[in-house]
Homo-oligomer: A and B are copies of this chain.
Amino acid sequence: MRIAIVAPSCTLKREAADAVQAMVRERGDCELIIHPQCFLTDGHFAGPDETRLAALREVMADPSIDAVWFARGGYGSNRIAEAALADMPGAARSKTYMGYSDAGFLLAGFHKAGMEVAWGPMPQDALRAGGDAAVARALDWLVRRDPSALEPELQSPAMAFNLTVLSSLLGTPLEPDFTGVDLLIEEVSEHLYATDRTMFHLTASANVRRAARIRLGRVADILPNDVEFGTDEEAIVEDWCRRSGIAYGGRADIGHDALNKVVPFRRENR
C-alpha cells in the first residue's frame, strides 16, 4: 500500500510529517510518499493554486499510488477542486482519497465524480494531544479497512462534512447527491449564531432535505457571543431539522480532534 500525501489547502508542518513517517516505519505495512509541495507556503496556502493543483494531479495520475491522503485542512482546496477533476487520468479512479475539514470540498467533488473517498484524520493531526491514535486510525482504515476505525453508527450511504464547508459547496459544481445519505456534520471555531445561520442555509436545500438523516458530531471551540445565544448546538441542529422535515439522528463520533473517526462515502449502488 503506497500512500501519497499532498496539501491542497495549507502547509503541512515538518514535525507532523516526521511523526507520521516514524509511525509508518514502525508499522511496516505501508509506504508513505510525502510530496514536497506539502511544505511550500504562499500566503495562506501550501503554494500557489497551480502548484497545489499540479501536485494533486501528479499523485492522482500515478498508477503506483494506492491512496491519496490530504495533509491537513485550513482553507483552499475549493480553489482547485474543479480543476483537479478535469480530464481525469484513469489511474485516479483506482485510489482512495482521505481527509476532513477543508478537504471536504475535494471529498464532495471526487465522490460526485465516482471515486472512493473517506472522511478521516490527516497527517497534521499528529501534532494534536493524542494525535498518534488519530493517525493510526486513519492508516488502519487506509491499509486494511479496519472496521474499528469507523464511526460506529454509520448507515450506508454516509457522508461527513464540516458544516461551514458543506454550506459553502451547496450550489457549486462540487455538490453531491444527498439522497438517502446518513449526513454527519461537525463544526469548529464558530459563534453559535453563525451555526444557526448556516443550519438555516443548509436545511433550505432541497437536495439536503433528501438526506436520510442528519447527525451532529462535535462542535468545538465555540466562539463567545456578546450575549449568551440561548440554546446549544444540538438544540440548534434539532430545531432546523424539525423545521425542514429532516430526521435528526443524534450525535456522531466525528470532530476536529484526536477522536475523529473514519466515514467512507459509501455509494448505495456498489
Interface residues of A (CB under 8 A from B): 41-45, 74-76, 78-79, 164, 167-173, 192-194, 196-198, 200-201, 204-205, 225, 227-231
In the assembly, what is the distance between CA of A78 and CA of B243, in Å?
A: 13
What CA separation (Å) do A168 and B240 show in the bound complex?
14
Distance of A196 Cα from B42 Cα, bound (Å) = 15
Seed contacts A43-B227, A44-B193, A75-B194; 12 additional CB < 8 Å A-B pairs = A42-B230, A43-B229, A43-B231, A44-B227, A44-B229, A75-B196, A78-B200, A79-B196, A167-B168, A168-B197, A168-B200, A172-B201
**A197 adjacent to B229 (CB under 8 Å):** no
Name the B residues within 8 Å of A196 (CB-CB): 75, 79
Q: Residue of B at shortest CB range from A10?
A: B227
Kindly list chain B residues whose C-beta atoms are within 8 Å of the C-beta of A197: 75, 78, 164, 168
Asked whether A41 lies within 8 Å of B173 as measured between CB atoms, the reply is no
Q: Which among B74, B78, B201, B231 is the interface contact of A169 at CB below 8 angstroms?
A: B201
